Amino acid sequence: MKTPYQDEVTYGTRTVCFRVVPTDRTTLGIRVHPDGRVEVRAPLEVDADEIRERVHRRARWITKQQRHFESFVRPLPEKEYVAGETHRYLGGQYRLKIHSVGPGDDEAVKLIGRYFEVYTTRPDDPAHTHRLLDRWYAEKAQHHLRHCFEEGVSQMRRYGVDNPKLVVRVMKQRWGSCTASRRITLNRWLVLAPTYCIDYVVIHELCHLVHPHHGRAFYRLLDRVLPDWRRRKERLRKVQYGTQRFDLRNGG
């Protein structure tokens, strides 16, 4: 019996990931699970190229089913920025502590143990706490994402990648993108995800500097550089900020 494996096809701007389960059945069946996973049960004699072609032909139906299930996902409640609330950073969860400081003291946000310690002159103003925390995230994103990016560029130099431009900013629907001008943009809110997921996004986008498409050559390179990228991508898929859910796709 052949071993199950992961694969994917590109449909428009969307990447359809699926798990192939070889069986002794005589027909090929495609199932979309409520959590969005796609499973293909295929006869043993059907090769990978034919399976990809069949999935691509059904991609419109698959994405429609996924969007249907996504409509039932409960968004995270809006943050209130009050003491005791949980906030994420690099895959961890931290509770908010609010400390009052005098008018002449410096306001600050510090990550200590399992807590975000917020020192503020306006402890009863959640909007002000929001601004302080948002500024902290922005500073950490610039530092941490640039570090991951530099590490990724170093890893990709052997494939001809050198001196790409990086922009870190808030993006509405994407974790990252790559343009024809060799500019890579990373979503600031990637700092909510574990570092190994950030590394996946970085490598994914850097691979587009070698292969600016989602064809077989692109995935061969991604497999070579980051063999466990599918596991990282699946973990990243579960990261959500407020009511927003993000995707990873190539382009603008």
Q: Please report, for the chain, the start and end positions of each structural domain, with discontinuous segments joined by +.
A: 5-70, 86-132, 138-245
pLDDT for position 12: 80
Q: How many residues does the chain have?
A: 252
Q: Please report how many Cα atoms fall inside a 13 Å half-sphere around the Cα of residue 59, on the Cβ side.
A: 16
- Helical residues (DSSP H) of the chain, grouped into ranges: 48-57, 59-70, 126-156, 195-207, 216-225, 229-237
Which tokens go with 149?
């990016």
pTM: 0.69
Count of alpha carbons within 13 Å of 247, Cβ hemisphere only? Answer: 11
Q: How high is the pLDDT of residue 109?
A: 97
The 3-class secondary structure across 93-157, one letter per residue, is EEEEEEEECCCCCCCEEEEECCEEEEEECCCCCHHHHHHHHHHHHHHHHHHHHHHHHHHHHHHHH
- Residue (of 203, 208, 182, 201) closest to 239 by Cα position: 201
| Residues whose CB falls within 8 Å of the CB of residue 177, separated by 6 or more in sequence, listed in order | 171, 184, 185, 205, 249, 250, 251, 252
What amino acid occupies position 54? Answer: R
CATH of domain 138-245: 3.30.2010.10
pLDDT digit string (tens) for the chain, length 252 residues? 578 888 888 888 778 889 899 998 889 999 998 777 899 999 999 999 999 999 999 999 998 888 777 665 555 578 899 999 999 999 999 999 999 999 888 999 999 999 999 999 999 999 999 999 999 999 999 999 999 999 999 999 999 998 899 999 998 778 999 988 889 999 999 999 999 999 999 999 999 999 988 888 999 999 999 999 988 988 887 776 544 455 554 333
